[in-house]
Amino acid sequence: MNNDHMTSFFFLPLLLVACGKEPRTPNIPAPQSPTQREYTFAATPSWADEFDYDGLPDEDKWGYDIGSQHNGWGNNELQFYTEKRTENARVGDGVLTITAVREEHEGLAYTSARLISRGKADFLYGRFEVRAKVPQGVGTWPAVWMLPTDWKYGGWPASGEIDILEHVGYDQDVVHISVHTEAYNHVIGTQKTATKKIENATSDFHRYRVDWTPTYIRGFVDDVQIFSFQNEGKGYKVWPFDQPFHLLINVAVGGNWGGQQGVDEHAFPAAMEVDYVRVYPLEN
């Protein structure tokens, strides 16, 4: 995202409290200059969810982050993330549907779900692809993204974040692919991101992809590259992406970024649909 849109939002230091995860004391290696090269990926996924079943998301593949800003979430979002509740997360007709609902719950006016693969599927490098349709409506903030599983270099943003897809409802059909590190993040005005205007992001499915290798992270929309981030060989502050990450899928309501132009309560329920999630391993 453009820095002027980024300066007042995102997954801030309270994120670790929200996830129930304390950062480790960093064991920081000396910087090494990477060998710049191209990588290839397997043709067959090593992990996937095709959502070809009915009911709750597969518990062998997905868990839940549960709670709200009242439990320490750091982005001032308006929803309570629930667990194993089909009103907020269900699979049917070949898709996963994450729905933000306007309803009173635990002192908040909205519910939603945040699926996580942490501890069930953690990854070091690979091609990550989702086919998704994002919700319409001011105040919606869907995302498919990745966080470090062990927080090797400490709390956010030191251990990094990879955003495969983000969309905010007040900026209709503009999708974002980003990374966050200690050296490159919106708080200090150095955000690394890319955006693409898609005329029908909320009405049609599109493919969103990140290729993560030891030397680069690249982002694609419908197989067109829009984002590139290089390992500069300057250590973890620039490149913390040498540790396992896990997947997250959620729809937030409001928040420091998603709610910048208010929340249209009449837009809810608002749902993101995901046709599949596929992970292709790095080959060479």
Distance CA 245, CA 180 (A): 13
Angle in degrees, CA 151, 74, 229, rounded to 5: 50
Residues identified as active-site: 161, 166
Q: Which are the contacts of 85, defined by CB distance < 8 A and separation ≥ 6?
A: 111, 113
CA torsion sign for 187, 193, 199, 205 is negative
Please give the span between the terminal C-alpha atoms of the chain, in angstroms, as a whole number: 31
Distance CA 115, CA 80 (A): 13
Angle in degrees, CA 20, 158, 255, rounded to 5: 60
Q: Are 38 and 262 in contact (CB under 8 A)?
A: no
Q: Which are the contacts of 2, defined by CB distance < 8 A and separation ≥ 6?
A: 193, 195
Q: What tokens were used for 110? A: 């909205």
